[in-house]
Structures are given as structure tokens and as C-alpha cells.
Amino acid sequence: MTTNTETISFFSLALDRQPGLVSRKKTSIRRGMLLGGTPPGWNVLALSQNDFYQYCDQAAIKLHEITIECHGVYLVCNGRPYIFISDKLRGAEKTFVCFHEIGHFWLHKPGDQFSADGKRPSRWANAIEIEADIVAVCAMIPLTVLKRHRPGEIADLYGYAPELVRLRQEVFDCWQI
């Protein structure tokens, strides 16, 4: 079982990915692509791991839960999409990583995160990771929930770490998503 301290540290990674998320220009993410590239129900219903598995089945994404050093990976090999999720993840952390990785599938073409030589991060790499984080946090805490409950209530109702709820509020404050 994941301790509260481990949960806080996990979601702090998403918050720390880009310090000052709220202060970033609204153009640093492609808001229209986020709203148009995600399926119906995203940011409306609180989505679960079961929803993630259904999305993977519908899109013929080959899913593997394995022992890996990172939390998750999305890639395309021979035209087939794959998502690898660490078998060490549980609960909200696993749900976040699942939707982060499928966010790459929904929004980003293969190779977007790399420069032309395929070895260095592209100038879009940070924005791409932020977009995937936004997909994940909005899947877990949709706008309908955010507008209906105060942050403390959301953390209590869903058992989410305060950092996850704070990330969701920052996404709304910055991009109205």
C-alpha cells in the first residue's frame, strides 16, 4: 500500500515538472487540441482505471503492466500503439500514469517529444508532458467535480492527495479547462 507521504511525493513530480505552471503563457499548451483530441466523457465524468482499460481496448492499444524503472511509457512500434505501466503503481498514482500515457496517444503523434535526430528532447517536449499531465488530472477530477466541490472536499471524497487537487485547480486557473 502506498503511504500518504509517497502519494504526496508522486503528485509533487507533476507539479514540479514545470515550476510556476499557472504563470506559464496559455499558449504553452495547445488548449484546442486538448479539448478536441480527447474522447467524450473526458473532463465531464470522473474516469477510472476501468475506463482507461476500455479506451485501450477500443483503440487496440497493447497494454503491458511490467517492472520498469519509470512510471509509464507510450510508444508506437510497427504502427501499433503500446503503453507500458509500472507494476509497482497502485491507486490514484496508477490512474494518473495510465491517463497520462493514453493522453500521449490521444494528442501526440509518435516522435513529437524528440528532435529531428531522435536523441534530444524537442522544443515541445515540456509542453507535451504538461499536456499529458492535464489529460490525466482532468480525467480524474473533471470540471464538473471541480465546480461542484471545494478542493478539500475533492481530496476527501475521492481520497486524492492535496497536490493532485492543487494541480487540477492550477490547470483550471491557467487554461479554464
Q: What is the mean pLDDT of residues 6-20?
A: 54
Place of cell 482507461: 52
Q: CA-to-CA distance for 33 and 85, rounded, in angstroms?
A: 25
Q: CA-to-CA distance for 168 and 175, rounded, in angstroms?
A: 11
Q: CA-to-CA distance for 132 and 113, rounded, in angstroms?
A: 12
- Residue 123, Cα to own-chain centre: how many angstroms? 20
pLDDT at site 116: 46
The residues, any chain, with a CB within 8 Å of residue 113's CB and separated by 6 or more, are: 121, 122, 124, 125, 128, 129
For the whole prediction, is pTM greater than 0.85?
Answer: no
Residue 22 has pLDDT above 70, yes or no: no
Place of cell 471541480: 146
What percent of the chain is predicted at pLDDT more than 90? 61
H or E element in which residue 163 lies: helix 162-175
The lowest-confidence range among 41-45, 117-121, 161-165 is 117-121
pLDDT at site 31: 79
